[in-house]
Amino acid sequence: MMDLSFSLDLSRLGQEEPRAEEKEETVRDLIIIGAGPAGLTAGIYAGRAQLEPLILVGKSLGGQAASTSEMENYPGFPEGVGGMALTEQMAAQATRFGAEIRYEEVTRVDLKVYPFLVETHDQTYRAKALIISTGTSPRPLGVPGERQFIGRGVSFCATCDGYFYRDKTVVVVGGGDSAVDEGLYLTRFAKEVIIVHRRDQLRASAILQKRAKANPKIRFVWNTVVDEVLGDTAVTGVRVHNVKTGEESIIPADGVFVYIGLVPNTRLFEGQLALDENGYIITDKHQRTNVPGVFAAGDVQDPWYRQTVIAAGTGAVAAIEAERFLAEKAYEEAEKTSHTEAQ
Ligand code: NAP
């Protein structure tokens, strides 16, 4: 059971001063780190609350959702919607309400000082409230050849790279929704999609399983794990072994798409925020972290569901709570000032 005891001692805030910074500092009411569905929805809500939030985008807008070829379960789109298109619309909606989106990767945060310190390569910001929505990244296989052939046959994004595998053979590793969904997407281009899974049962939802099993371009290789990605100038296949029989073999392929789960992007917050045993940020049902004024939303704090609609929902909660936090802070400050003036 995770520790969900939260210390909400607001008096701690403002006691420590940050180290001297050379870069110019701008103080914002709210900074949102990460621009997937959670961060962008938080931006829409905070924008409408007149907080003029700054959304710092890491590498690219939209997070994992943007690399999803087709979403069939996001409400309001009976025919489905592309992940990239959906998140671009969210970004447009956030900016319409006054959110500012900047493509700056955050390199360091200091949550012991207040206003919180947020550093990017070019800028130092201070934020009176923070929403962390840094999402997750694909988990790598960690086998020889994988890293070496990234961009030359190894990919973590079928939507981005599928097009390059027209009439080719690709291996998809994994048995969850992502592997099966993106495997199905790859059948638009590839002549054969080989799904290599370590068990003999898929984890993916029933509807995706049914579709994949009915697709003549998809072949399953069960009870099998990848030991090495093979290649010369580009990928030529994978060396695998059967976990039941121990038998080794080589599967020739032009591409390898890895979908074996996700890891939370929380390195920046290690030692500063309470994280669970897998590195996810621990939040309560108001999306509060253990540091008052710091909220987290989306996949970075959700090891359970990891759905776009849920990420968006937690982004909305985080923004509403950030607004309340700021209003309380402003009230406390006003009270303090009137007391001082009265003395
Ligand atoms: P996931 O559900 O965690 O599945 C990961 C898959 O990779 C599992 O089949 C797992 O095997 C396998 N795996 C894990 N580590 C491995 C390793 N070291 N070597 C080989 N195989 C390994 O991850 P996901 O598919 O990326 O999905 C993440 C979340 O996003 C889920 O909650 C999913 O429902 C959601 N999602 C939903 C949709 C949709 O609704 N259409 C689409 C994409 C993602 P085991 O099964 O043996 O554990």
Query: What CATH number is attached to the domain comprising 185?
Result: 3.50.50.60
Secondary structure tally for the chain: helices H, strands E? 7, 17
H-type alpha helices, the chain: 37-48, 63-66, 83-96, 158-161, 177-186, 206-214, 308-342
Same domain, 132 and 180: no
Summarised one tens digit per residue, pLDDT across range 212-271 is: 999 999 999 999 999 999 999 999 999 999 999 999 999 999 999 999 999 999 999 999
Same domain, 277 and 333: yes
Q: Whose CA is closest to atom 41 on ligand 1?
A: 177
pLDDT at 135 over 90: yes
Summarised one tens digit per residue, pLDDT across range 63-87 is: 989 988 889 899 999 999 999 999 9
In a domain, 13, yes or no: no
Same domain, 278 and 134: yes
Q: Which atom of ligand 1 is nearest to the CA of 174?
A: 7
pLDDT at 5 over 60: no
pLDDT at 20 over 50: no
Question: If DSSP codes are grouped into helix, strand and coil, which group holds residue 138?
Answer: strand
In a domain, 178, yes or no: yes
Residue 18 has a pLDDT of 43
pLDDT at 1 over 90: no
Q: What does the block give as tokens for 264?
A: 């939370």
Which of 260, 284, 303 is the last residue in one of the domains?
Answer: 260
Residue 330 has a pLDDT of 85
pLDDT, mean of residues 117-144: 96
Question: What is the domain range of residue 274?
Answer: 20-138+263-342
In a domain, 229, yes or no: yes
Tell me, yes or no, if 157 is annotated catalytic.
Answer: yes
C-beta separation of 128 from 329 below 8 A? yes
Same domain, 134 and 151: no
Which of 225, 260, 295 is the last residue in one of the domains?
Answer: 260
Residue 34 has a pLDDT of 98
Residue 217 has a pLDDT of 98
Residue 289 has a pLDDT of 98
In a domain, 15, yes or no: no
Residue 22 has a pLDDT of 53
Same domain, 256 and 271: no
Which of 241, 260, 279 is the last residue in one of the domains?
Answer: 260
Same domain, 56 and 72: yes
Residue 343 has a pLDDT of 66
pLDDT band for position 3 (cuts 50, 70, 90): very low
pLDDT, mean of residues 154-178: 95
Between CA 268 and CA 274 the distance in angstroms is 12
Question: If DSSP codes are grouped into helix, strand and coil, which group holds residue 299?
Answer: helix
Same domain, 130 and 267: yes
Same domain, 155 and 232: yes
Domain tally for the chain?
2
Between CA 52 and CA 46 the distance in angstroms is 7
Q: What does the block give as tokens for 49?
A: 């609350």
Residue 12 has a pLDDT of 35
C-beta separation of 116 from 125 below 8 A? no
C-beta separation of 315 from 283 below 8 A? no
Summarised one tens digit per residue, pLDDT across range 52-61 is: 999 999 888 9
Tell me, yes or no, if 284 is annotated catalytic.
Answer: no
Residue 25 has a pLDDT of 76
Amino acid type, 93: Q
Catalytic residue, from 3, 29, 110, 157: name it. Answer: 157
In a domain, 175, yes or no: yes
Q: What does the block give as tokens for 311?
A: 């990420």
If one residue of 159, 178, 223 were mutated to test the ligand 1 pocket, choosing by the most ligand atoms within 8 A of its CB, it would be 178
Between CA 53 and CA 105 the distance in angstroms is 16
In a domain, 103, yes or no: yes
Same domain, 32 and 119: yes
Tell me, yes or no, if 276 is annotated catalytic.
Answer: no
Residue 324 has a pLDDT of 98
pLDDT band for position 107 (cuts 50, 70, 90): very high
Same domain, 238 and 204: yes
Q: What does DSSP say about strands 262-264 and 136-138: parallel, antiparallel, or unpaired?
A: antiparallel
Task: State the DSSP string of 241-290.
Answer: EETTT--EEEEE-SEEEE-S-EEE--GGGTTTS-B-TTSPBP--TT-B-S
Same domain, 152 and 133: no
The mean predicted confidence, pLDDT, of the chain is 92
Residue 9 has a pLDDT of 33
Question: In angstroms, what is the span from residue 41 Cα to ligand 1's centroid?
Answer: 25
Residue 287 has a pLDDT of 98
Residue 26 has a pLDDT of 82
Residue 13 has a pLDDT of 42
If one residue of 203, 241, 278, 280 were mutated to test the ligand 1 pocket, choosing by the most ligand atoms within 8 A of its CB, it would be 203
Percent of the chain with pLDDT over 90: 84
pLDDT, mean of residues 93-104: 97
Please state the pTM of the whole predicted model. Answer: 0.83
Q: Which atom of ligand 1 is nearest to the CA of 305?
A: 32
Alpha carbon distances (Å) from 6 to 10, 273, 343: 12, 11, 35
Residue 317 has a pLDDT of 98
pLDDT, mean of residues 198-224: 97
Amino acid type, 324: R
Between CA 99 and CA 42 the distance in angstroms is 10
Closest C-alpha to 291, from 271, 313, 317: 271
Same domain, 300 and 209: no
In a domain, 12, yes or no: no
pLDDT at 8 over 60: no
pLDDT, mean of residues 107-121: 97
Lowest-pLDDT range, 114-118, 128-132, 332-336?
Answer: 332-336
In a domain, 7, yes or no: no
